[in-house]
Structure 1
Amino acid sequence: MNTTQTGRPASGAADRTRTAGSAFWIMTRRVTVMAGTVDVLLLLAFLAFDEPLVGWLNLLSIAIYVVAYRALKQRRNRLGLALIWVEVVTHAVVGTVWLGWHIGFHYYLLMFIPAIAVAAGGWQQAFLLGGVLTLYLSLDHWSVEHGPMHPMDPVGQELVYAINVVVVFVFAAYAARYYYQLVAESERRLRQLASTDPLTGLANRRHMLLQAEDVLVQARRIGVPTSVVLIDIDHFKQVNDTCGHEGGDAVLVHVAGLLAANCREADLLARWGGEEFLLVLAASDAEAGHMRAELVRRLVAESPVTVGEVRLPVTLSVGVTVAQPHEGLDEAIARADRALYASKSAGRDRVSLLG
């Protein structure tokens, strides 16, 4: 169910939204686990093809990743990241110098590029990127000038090269997908924040206007009535004076929850402003609109709010009208407002219908 359409109160998901920085460290922990797993595979491959030096280097790499992961879990992020840098650079240099350029260990240096772009900025970013580029080109030059110090068995070389290429592709795809999902989630949260009242979780005034106009256009097209209901909490200023703004907020959230719980899927509900709420009932004539308004008025009246040790009775004054085929939303709301005023003038805690 769409919270901005039916007005279900917010669940607090905004508090759990990840920042780019926290997302980077979460991804780093996951990549650390993946990298350690890859080193296990490489250890087995090197031992199988009688390459104990780089095999035991992979064992050391596994230990480094275990320590780095524990550091990242403990929020010792600088230490964890430093260990990862040391492991990747050492692995790339030793693997390339000892086994040759065609083994593919230099590819791991390329994985630093997106990480640096996200985690660093300014001169630090330029320095780190320049360092990675210099190391990459230096390894290339060394390989051209000297070749491998200890060429690997051709079958083993092809196997390890294939592992390295696949791993780099998978890491790159994972990082791209992870940040795409982060951006998509951020965009969704921004849209929700722009259309939602932060206190009650209901649609805000701006979003309601956009949605309600569409509902009225559709209703006119198919020839069904639409009821417009304007709701005001009685004596709300007294609540704030008696219990402070926290008490007022508690009443607003309480009323919003009762209203939202009694909305149909097609209904629109918004916090209209202050202590007022607007309810647009699709496919509802005057009688149906009046009945729904009377239902929520009664439910609220029967559900006092407890603020601390104070039990607050809450009542509503409600104005109901039916949007006419020839008028816009503003005109219908203005007529509902006059009906609401009639309810207040008649003593409050009641529903008034104005045709």
Structure 2
Amino acid sequence: MAQGRKNETGLAPVARRTHSRPQFWQLARRCCQLAASVDVAFFFLFHLLGSPILAWINIASVSLYLAAFHLLNTRRNGLAIALIWTEVIVHAALGTLLIGWDSGFHYFLLMFIPALFAGMTTTRAWIAVAGLWAFYVSLYAMMWFVEPLQPISSNALLGVFLFNLTVVFCMFSYLSLFYVNNVSSAQRKLQFMATTDPLTRLFNRRHMIELAEKEIARCERHPLQITFLLLDIDHFKQFNDRYGHDVGDRVLQRMSALLTSVLRTQDSLGRWGGEEFLALLPDTDGEQALLIAERMRATVEQDQWECEGFALSVTLSIGVSEYRPGEDLSLAIARADRALYQGKEAGRNRVELELAGL
């Protein structure tokens, strides 16, 4: 059964590693288009140089690249890769044998190296690279004993060499740019996943702790004030029990958007856990924080909306605490939690500031 899962060319490792990478196959399609365009240019170049054999070889190469492009579009990736391998190896060998090593056709073989490591397991890639190296060296050694079969003038040979070198430089630059952008994109996605709550798209608890600790460190160096808001959706369990957890999730998402719209650019908001949110307000004292918290509470209270046919109304209770220099972060948040509890006890839908004596 394991053999049955291989593709029609037997290139199972390539398909297994890269079938789920749309960017890789998008790059392969673009490379097919670029290579076909280069071969069209070669067709006219070798006609001008009076080398019809090489000119028509490039027409065959264009056909192979167009076929590989079609196979990639129809997800027959293994066969497409086999065609590309065949074209490059045969074309490089024929070009070298016909007009000589100094033509630079052998440089195109080096284009496979990054693709091998991107498309195979590390062990198989090293084996393939070793085979490619052996072929490269064998071709070089052969040209010590075999004269070019269809030599061209030294000036024409120099022109072909410079053309090949330019194409290889451009394609390597394109590949390098692609992989750098791909790595950067992957790093941004990992960073987003590591710092963001997947449901609300707010910062997660761990990242809020990191932000708060950085802000506290800044506060210890400079005479600045920091205030924390701990927000809790009133009677949230009733939304889940009465309307279902999907509606409960929609409530959390709605609240996240509303609260974010009220906060300032320098403020940070994260999901602290369950239906609780934590807001970090830098350069803000308790009185200023109370005004912001009250604006958040009123915005949520006034928001009347429908979800899956249900008319919903949500309220918040908010606890506020000012950071005291020298104290631990957990103590500052615990004081906000006590203020939140006071608001719950006093009837909910309230903003409470933790008193200095508590």
Moved more, 293-302 or 125-134: 125-134
1:340–1:352 contact (8 Å) kept in structure 2: yes
CA distance in 1 between partners of 2:210 and 2:276 (Å) = 18
Output the amino acid matched with 1:65. Answer: Y
Moved more, 167-176 or 315-324: 167-176
- Distance 1:82-1:346 versus aligned 2 partners, 3 A rule: same
Secondary structure, in 3 states, of the residue corresponding to 1:284?
A: coil
CA distance in 1 between partners of 2:19 and 2:81 (Å) = 18
CA distance in 1 between partners of 2:324 and 2:114 (Å) = 58
Q: CA deviation at 1:273?
A: 0.7
- Distance 1:107-1:296 versus aligned 2 partners, 3 A rule: same
Q: CA deviation at 1:343?
A: 0.7
Secondary structure, in 3 states, of the residue corresponding to 2:244?
A: helix
Establish whether residue 100 from structure 1 lines up as the match of residue 75 from structure 2: no
CA distance in 1 between partners of 2:131 and 2:211 (Å) = 54
Q: CA deviation at 1:246?
A: 1.0
Alignment gaps of 5+ in structure 2: 1-17
1:230–1:333 contact (8 Å) kept in structure 2: yes
CA distance in 2 between partners of 1:242 and 1:19 (Å) = 44
Secondary structure, in 3 states, of the residue corresponding to 1:106?
A: helix
What is aligned with 1:190? Answer: 190
Q: CA deviation at 1:211?
A: 0.9
CA distance in 1 between partners of 2:251 and 2:39 (Å) = 58
Instruction: State the Cα deviation string for residues 185-231 of structure 1 (Å, max 9, x = none).
Output: 21222122111111111111111111112223333544233221110
Q: CA deviation at 1:126?
A: 5.2
What is aligned with 2:338? Answer: 338
What is aligned with 2:140? Answer: 140
CA distance in 2 between partners of 1:126 and 1:220 (Å) = 53
Moved more, 165-174 or 251-260: 165-174
CA distance in 1 between partners of 2:123 and 2:239 (Å) = 56
Instruction: State the Cα deviation string for residues 308-354 of structure 1 (Å, max 9, x = none).
Output: 11122111111112222342322221111111001110111111112
Instruction: State the Cα deviation string for residues 134-156 of structure 1 (Å, max 9, x = none).
Output: 33233223211112011112111
Instruction: State the Cα deviation string for residues 228-264 of structure 1 (Å, max 9, x = none).
Output: 1110001111111112221111111110111111121
1:100–1:143 contact (8 Å) kept in structure 2: yes
Q: Count the aligned residue pairs.
A: 338
RMSD: 2.0
Alignment gaps of 5+ in structure 1: 1-17
What is aligned with 1:166? Answer: 166
2:99–2:148 contact (8 Å) kept in structure 1: yes
1:240–1:248 contact (8 Å) kept in structure 2: yes
Matches within 5 A, 1:312-331: 312-331=312-331
Q: Which has the higher contact order (CA 8 A, sep 6+)?
A: 1
Q: CA deviation at 1:269?
A: 1.0
Moved more, 32-41 or 46-55: 32-41
TM-score normalised according to structure 1 size: 0.89
Instruction: State the Cα deviation string for residues 258-282 of structure 1 (Å, max 9, x = none).
Output: 1111121111111111110011112
Identity of aligned residues (%): 41
What is aligned with 2:262? Answer: 262
Matches within 5 A, 1:263-302: 263-302=263-302
CA distance in 2 between partners of 1:148 and 1:111 (Å) = 24
Matches within 5 A, 1:1-355: 21-121=21-121, 124-125=124-125, 128-355=128-355
Moved more, 91-100 or 302-311: 302-311
Q: CA deviation at 1:95?
A: 0.8
1:320–1:353 contact (8 Å) kept in structure 2: yes
1:35–1:65 contact (8 Å) kept in structure 2: yes
CA distance in 1 between partners of 2:101 and 2:167 (Å) = 17
1:254–1:305 contact (8 Å) kept in structure 2: no
CA distance in 1 between partners of 2:171 and 2:104 (Å) = 15
Instruction: State the Cα deviation string for residues 72-91 of structure 1 (Å, max 9, x = none).
Output: 22322123222212211221
Output the amino acid matched with 1:55. Answer: A
CA distance in 2 between partners of 1:20 and 1:240 (Å) = 36
TM-score normalised according to structure 2 size: 0.88
1:305–1:312 contact (8 Å) kept in structure 2: yes
Secondary structure, in 3 states, of the residue corresponding to 2:152?
A: coil
CA distance in 2 between partners of 1:126 and 1:221 (Å) = 53
Secondary structure, in 3 states, of the residue corresponding to 1:111?
A: helix
Secondary structure, in 3 states, of the residue corresponding to 1:231?
A: strand
